[in-house]
Amino acid sequence: MRHPDRRWRTGAAIAIMMIAFAPYLLLACGPSSRGKALRASLVGVDASRDGFLAYDQEAQAKIVADATSLEEGRAALDTYRAERQKVVAAFEVAYRMIALALVDKADLPAVVEAAASLQDAIDSLRQLHGGTP
Amino acid sequence: MITKDQVLDHADTVVDALNILGEVTGLKAKHSVETIAHVAKAVASTLRASLAGAITKEEVAQRNQILLDKLADADAKADDALNKKFAVEDDAG
């Protein structure tokens, strides 16, 4: 079985790649390909989401296992969840931007920006909590 | 039944069909081809926006809600595990 962190990273990489390329596909292709590209982006973000959920479960389990007191455990979980919120917000923005891009081409740069923000949030959490949760 | 994916995939065809319809019904006699095309694109755009709106409400929002729901479950599970861990240790002590 693959490690959750690896699945998350793979999912995130797929999502970022799909989101990053989708706008270019949209600009280059007609409306039919546009819908398909955005749907592919949705699938990519979903893959990243599922990998992230697996990572989150493992990360919180490790925090609980490493806790030496109830107070320390709660503080560590609170710290982790506060940092995790940035990733959650980035996912929400990515989903919203894709939805907006479905109806308005002017929002395509926002899709690229959302993808970059999602990548930044993921990188930040990874740096704080290491390669393995 | 025609699915929304099929409509999205054939949006260009819808525009073409409406253009041809304008030709056949004589709209061209009263309006320029550009006007007919503009109306046709507006219809297709509205249709596409409506369908995309459905995707936004029914799919995109749902996908993000899955993330929030599962994180809430994971939080409850971790909190419970932490409480049980130290409750057990307190009892043992």
Residue A106 is predicted with a pLDDT of 40
**A102 interaction partners in chain B (CB closer than 8 Å):** 48, 52, 55-56
Q: Is A27 exposed, middle or buried (CB count within 10 Å of its CB: 0-12, 13-18, 19+)?
A: exposed
pLDDT score for B77: 96
Q: Is B8 on the interface with A (CB under 8 A)?
A: yes
**Global pTM value:** 0.62
Question: Does A92 contact chain B (CB < 8 Å)?
Answer: yes
Are the Cβ atoms of A57 and B9 closer than 8 angstroms? no
Closest C-alpha among A110, A113, A118 to residue A88: A118
Contacts of B66 in chain A (CB under 8 A): 49
A83-125: per-residue pLDDT in tens? 999 899 998 888 888 777 776 644 566 666 776 777 778 778 8
pLDDT > 90 fraction of chain A, expressed in percent and rounded = 21
Rounded to the nearest angstrom, the minimum Cα separation between A64 and chain B is: 6
pLDDT in tens, A13-65: 555 555 554 544 445 445 555 666 666 677 767 777 877 888 888 889 999 99
Residue B45 is encoded by which pair of tokens? 């755009």
- Name the packing angle between helices B61-92 and A31-66 (round to 10°): 10
Residues A103, B11: C-beta atoms closer than 8 Å: no
B54 Cα to chain A: minimum distance (Å): 10
Asked if B86 and A45 come within 8 Å (Cβ–Cβ), the reply is no
Question: ipTM, 2 decimals?
Answer: 0.74
CA distance B3 to chain A (A): 13
Nearest C-alpha in B relative to A84: B71
Q: Which residue in A52, A47, A92 sits closest to B61, CA to CA?
A: A92
